[in-house]
Structure 1
C-alpha cells in the first residue's frame, strides 16, 4: 500500500511540476483575480480535468479514444483554436492596477479556458495515458485505488497552491507591472503549446 501511495505522489509531482500552459493559466488567474475565492473556478476545473484524465488512463478508456484517428484529429484541432484564442486574450489583458476598466476573467471564461488547456492539450493527455496509465498496471485491487487517489490528491493540492502563490505575487505587485510581464510570458507559453499541437496535427 505504501509503495502505491508514494509512487502515485512522486509520479504526479513529476508530471505536474514542469511549467506548462495549465500551470501558467492557474497561476495567472490566482494573481489577477481580486481575491483567492474568485480563482476557485479555475482551480476546481483544472483539478477535475486532471482527475478525469487520470481515471480514464487508469481504467484504460483513454487508450480506446486515442485509437480513433478522426476523434484525435478533431480533439487536437479544437484545442489548437482554443489555445490560440486564450493566448491572445491573455496577451492583450492588462492588470486592473494599470488600467481602470480592466476586468479579471469571469468564472465562465475561467472554466472554459481551463477546460481547453487541460483536456485539449495532447502533451498532458499523452503523459497521463503513457505514464500514469502504464504505471497503474503494476497494481491491482486496493493498491490501484490508493495509487489513483494519491495522484489525484497531488493534483488538487498543486493547483490550489499555485493559485495561492499567484495571489501572493498579485498582492506584492502593487503597480501591476509584474503581472503585465507574467501575462506576456503566460501567452507565449500557451502559444508554444499551440504550436506543438499544430506540429502533431501536421504529422497525422
Structure 2
C-alpha cells in the first residue's frame, strides 16, 4: 500500500514539475499574493478529478481495447522524449527567466485563465488520464486506490508549495543559471519516465 502510494506520488509530481503555463500562473499569483488559495485549490481539484478518472476509468476502457495501454505508453514515451529534449536544449542555450508578475484584479478573470490553462491543455489529459492511468493499471484493489491517493496528494502538495512558496522561489526563477539547472533536471526526469514506459 505504501509503495503504491509513493509510486503514485512520484509519478504525479514528476509530471507536473515542469514549469508550464498553468504553473507559471500559480507562481505569478503567489508572487503578487492575489487569489492564491482559490487558484491553488482550483488547479489541485481539477488535477484530482482528472487523475481519478484516469485511475478508476482506465480499466473499463482497456476492457474494450486491451492494446490501448501499450499504445498510450509508447505515445507518452515519445512525447516525454521530445519534451525532455526541449528542456535539454533550453538548458544548453540558456536565457530562460520568469517574466515579472502582473497583479490581477477581480477573481473571475483569474479563475477563467486557470480553467483555460487547465482544461484546454491537451497535455493534461495525456499526463493524468493517459500516463498516470497507464501506470495505475499495474495495481489492483486497495493498492490502486493508494496509488490514486498518492497521485492526488502530489498535486495538492505541489500547487500549495508553488503558490505559497512563490516569494521564496522568485529570485531563483529570475536567474538564468538556475533555470539551466531546472531545465536539466526536468529533462532527466522526463527521459527516465520515458525509459520506464518503453521498458515496461
Between the aligned partners of 1:113 and 1:13, the Cα distance in structure 2 is 22
> Displacement, 1:169?
5.5
**Contact 1:33–1:104 under 8 Å retained in 2:** no
- The match for 1:19 is 19
**Contact 1:42–1:111 under 8 Å retained in 2:** yes
Q: Look up the SS of the partner of 1:60 in the other structure.
A: helix
Q: Look up the SS of the partner of 1:139 in the other structure.
A: coil
- The match for 1:117 is 117
**Contact 1:8–1:151 under 8 Å retained in 2:** yes
- The match for 2:43 is 46
* 1:10-55 residue CA offsets vs partner (Å, 9 max, x unmatched): 1011101112111111001111235xxx311100100011001101
Calculate the TM-score normalised by the size of structure 2: 0.60
Q: Look up the SS of the partner of 2:137 in the other structure.
A: helix
Between the aligned partners of 2:3 and 2:163, the Cα distance in structure 1 is 30
**Contact 2:32–2:101 under 8 Å retained in 1:** no
- The match for 1:164 is 164
**Contact 2:10–2:154 under 8 Å retained in 1:** no
- The match for 1:141 is 141
User: CA RMSD for the aligned pairs?
Assistant: 2.6
Distance 1:148 1:94, change over 3 A: closer
**Contact 1:15–1:127 under 8 Å retained in 2:** yes
Runs (4+) off by over 6 Å = none
Calculate the TM-score normalised by the size of structure 1: 0.59
Pairs aligned (count): 135
Q: Look up the SS of the partner of 2:140 in the other structure.
A: coil
Between the aligned partners of 1:169 and 1:3, the Cα distance in structure 2 is 30
> Displacement, 1:94?
6.8
